[in-house]
């Protein structure tokens, strides 16, 4: 789903997430703790944004890194930062990964993107097609229990388009995302043939205590994001 936050404000978003609470001190440490070594592997960064994870993949000696994002501005930022060291192109993930060959990629990451996709079955079918046997994806997304607070219908099991304004970059920017049940996520994964091999509800870094005690208290007691590692079975 296109959003001004990731196009008009792409550069501001890049500088904010370098050291903010939700990305730098909750999402990244949790997701990276589930990733494992990518040294020598062919890795895709799905919904790469400004490439903060791609930088980690480069430093971790992945042999090939492919970054895709819906936003042209994010794709340009990643190209400016890493040039030919990564392969980068614009792709709407709600249309799958039509440029990628089947059984060609070892590892995929998809941090904080799935809530912008309406059809997770199509997405995970494509992930399953493109992963090599024994390959895996690690993703994070909004925790379904946390997002239920935004429900207008009051029906947890009904997918809903939520419209909000976020102050992420210091000015209110309209944002739209899908709120859905945990079962909708896990059904899409398992029906694609992938197996959930690890699940986390995130652990906020201790450093947040010094940055904002109230937010630390809230994130220590309430789920905010959910993280899963999903593997493709080998032969």
| Footprint of ligand SAM (CB under 6 A) | 1, 6, 17, 23, 47-49, 52-53, 69-71, 74, 91-94, 111-113, 116-117
Secondary structure of residue 162 in the 3-state scheme: strand
- For ligand SAM, give the closer residue by CB, 30 or 91: 91
C-alpha span between 67 and 45 (Å, rounded): 5
C-alpha span between 111 and 114 (Å, rounded): 8
Structure tokens given for 7: 């196009």
Nearest approach, Cβ of 113 to ligand SAM (angstroms)?
A: 4
Q: Which residue, among 88, 100, 96, has the nearest Cα to 54 in the 3D structure?
A: 88
- For ligand SAM, give the closer residue by CB, 156 or 160: 160
C-alpha span between 174 and 231 (Å, rounded): 35
Strand partners, 141: 226
Nearest approach, Cβ of 115 to ligand SAM (angstroms)?
A: 9
Nearest approach, Cβ of 145 to ligand SAM (angstroms)?
A: 19
Nearest approach, Cβ of 234 to ligand SAM (angstroms)?
A: 27
Nearest approach, Cβ of 235 to ligand SAM (angstroms)?
A: 31
- For ligand SAM, give the closer residue by CB, 1 or 35: 1
C-alpha span between 228 and 140 (Å, rounded): 7
- For ligand SAM, give the closer residue by CB, 92 or 201: 92
Q: Cβ-closest residue to ligand SAM? A: 49
Q: Which residue, among 17, 65, 75, has the nearest Cα to 45 in the 3D structure?
A: 65
- For ligand SAM, give the closer residue by CB, 57 or 131: 57
Q: Are 86 and 58 in contact (CB under 8 A)?
A: yes
């Amino acid at each position: 789903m296109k959003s001004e936050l990731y196009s008009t404000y792409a550069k501001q978003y890049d500088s904010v997430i370098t050291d903010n609470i939700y990305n730098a001190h909750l999402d990244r440490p949790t997701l990276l703790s589930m990733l494992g070594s990518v040294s020598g592997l062919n890795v895709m960064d799905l919904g790469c944004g400004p490439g903060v994870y791609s930088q980690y993949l480069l430093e971790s000696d992945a042999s090939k890194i492919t970054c895709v994002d819906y936003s042209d501005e994010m794709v340009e930022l990643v190209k400016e930062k890493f040039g030919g060291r990564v392969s980068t192109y614009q792709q709407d993930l709600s249309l799958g990964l039509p440029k990628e060959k089947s059984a060609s990629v070892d590892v995929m990451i998809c941090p904080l993107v799935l809530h912008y996709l309406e059809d997770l079955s199509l997405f995970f079918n494509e992930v399953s097609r493109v992963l090599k046997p024994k390959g895996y994806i690690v993703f994070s997304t909004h925790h379904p229990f946390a997002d239920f607070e935004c429900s207008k219908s009051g029906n947890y099991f009904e997918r809903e388009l939520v419209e909000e304004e976020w102050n992420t970059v210091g000015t209110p920017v309209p944002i739209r995302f899908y709120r859905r049940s945990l079962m909708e996520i896990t059904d899409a994964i398992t029906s694609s043939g992938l197996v959930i091999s690890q699940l986390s509800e995130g652990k906020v870094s201790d450093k947040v205590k010094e940055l904002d005690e109230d937010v630390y208290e809230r994130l220590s007691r309430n789920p905010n994001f959910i993280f899963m590692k999903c593997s493709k079975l080998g032969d």
